[in-house]
Chain A
Amino acid sequence: MEEWQDQALVLSARAHGEGGAVVSVLTEHHGRHAGYVRGAKSSRMRGIIEPGNLVGVRWSARVADSLGSFVLEQEQNITAGLMADPVKLSAVQSACALCDEALPEREVHPGLFYGLQALFDAMDTEIWGAAYVMWEIAFLKELGFGLNLTRCAGGGDNQDLCYVSPKSGHAVSKAAGAPYKEKLLTLPGFLRPVKGEVDDGSVYEGLQLTGYFMEHWVFNHHTRGVPPARIQFQERFERLLDKVRAGESSIP
């Protein structure tokens, strides 16, 4: 009998049979792992297997290669506090969907587990948007698509980085990038060597930046492409940003 216990963040739950579900989690020591949860539709379990929640997980299976089953215990309910906030809820869904779709199963990524946990903890702070963008940059790096945002790819001034090359993922200085600025991606102010302010506009630039590399690098060969949750998050953020700029609303 194979068995282990770990701490995990719930990524997704797919109904299986009448009362059960196949739940995908990101564990600290066992990477992204799936397992069958009995009674997943019960009133006690339904709230636990929501994406983003921190759970204690016990996995057991007859042989190591099989799906196995999970026994889950709730440790921290992340999503309950974000239900009323469409943008933050979208962000949590997006991060969970990215992990669920892009991470290979049973490959250990403790850094990503702690990073995702830290991101969810930051959702109550003012800089949650920037934290999300930085988490996506770390996510890209963990998958082998690291961006180099500290040195100018064109040999320009490393203190004046303003753009990112969509081809190489390297930063480009203002002077070196000037002739190609239409083709380059904008490096958000809070990611530049001389740190700018974290405002909604720069967070959106960050989402566009990481979104580009998600689409063209990470999910380029995935049949389903970028997860809809990621696309919806960026669209929702853009809509709210438009409202903020029009003075109708404010991003929490």
Chain B
Amino acid sequence: MRDGPFDSMIKALAGLPGMGPRSARRIALHLLTNKEGKMMPLIKALEQTAESVKKCETCGNLDAYDPCRLCQDGQRQQNVICVVAGVADLWAIERTSTFKGQYHVLEGVLSALDGVGPDDLRIRELLTRVKDGGFDEIILALSATVDGQSTAHYIADKLDGLSTARITRLAHGVPVGGELDYLDEGTITTALKSRA
């Protein structure tokens, strides 16, 4: 068994997020004992996805089309752009069905510790889009962490003078359904400072 195809499969599965060797072994066994019903459809789906899904050159979203369906959608607002750190954040906002503008995926946030600088992110592409775009509002939807907010400040600095668009940020504070008693000190501080 050692170094055979089964072990390679387990190694590959164990490298996925949320997986360890034990759960990888369980999944591998489940797939192998259910080849026709589970394994072959999964292989087919993986192959199809690997072949068809690509990065949208405009916004950085992952889709089977380039430009992606969100960028192609003429019904969406063309004058508002929402800047997010990753595709997962874009999908999270899309799930709410409340935002109908354009997106821009940065592919990360600035982090001196991890060696992520401005050139490692899609900031230059954002500046080019804003310069050409005719946007009225740029929403910096980045996480409420030091790295996330540092990135937002950096982008705001770069956008300064480049466009007359209004630069906005997501509100920070009490989550829907949140009880003050259970909230952490930082969230309450931010909520108080940005109270309406």
Contact = CB atoms under 8 A, between A and B. Distances in A.
A228 B111 CA distance: 10
B194 interface: yes
Nearest to A47: B186
Given A14-B114, A236-B157, A74 B150 contact: no
Contacts of B18: 18
A31 interface: no
Contacts, number: 66
A47 B184 contact: yes
B157 A50 contact: no
Interface stretch (A82-90, A148-156, A158-166, A197-205): A82-90
Interface string B160-194: 00000000000010000000000011110110011
Interface string A48-79: 10111000000000000000000000101101
Given A18-B17, A18-B18, A83-B172, A89 B149 contact: yes
Contacts of B185: 74, 76-77, 80
Interface in A33-51: 44, 46-48, 50-51
A177 to B, nearest CB: 35
A196 interface: no
Contact of B150 (A15, A76, A90, A227): A90
Given A83-B172, A86-B156, A229 B149 contact: no
A12 interface: yes
Interface in B98-148: 112-114, 117, 144-146
A93 B113 CA distance: 11
Contact of B113 (A14, A74, A90, A236): A14
A48 B184 CA distance: 9
A228 B189 contact: no
A93 B146 CA distance: 8
B193 A84 contact: yes
Interface in A213-231: 227-229
B139 to A, nearest CB: 15
Contacts of A228: 112, 117
Contact of A79 (B113, B146, B156, B184): B146
Interface centre among A48, A74, A80, by most chain B C-beta atoms within 10 angstroms, is A80
Contacts of B172: 83
A47 B187 contact: yes
Interface of A: 12-15, 18, 44, 46-48, 50-52, 74, 76-77, 79-81, 83-84, 86, 89-90, 92-93, 97, 227-229, 236, 239
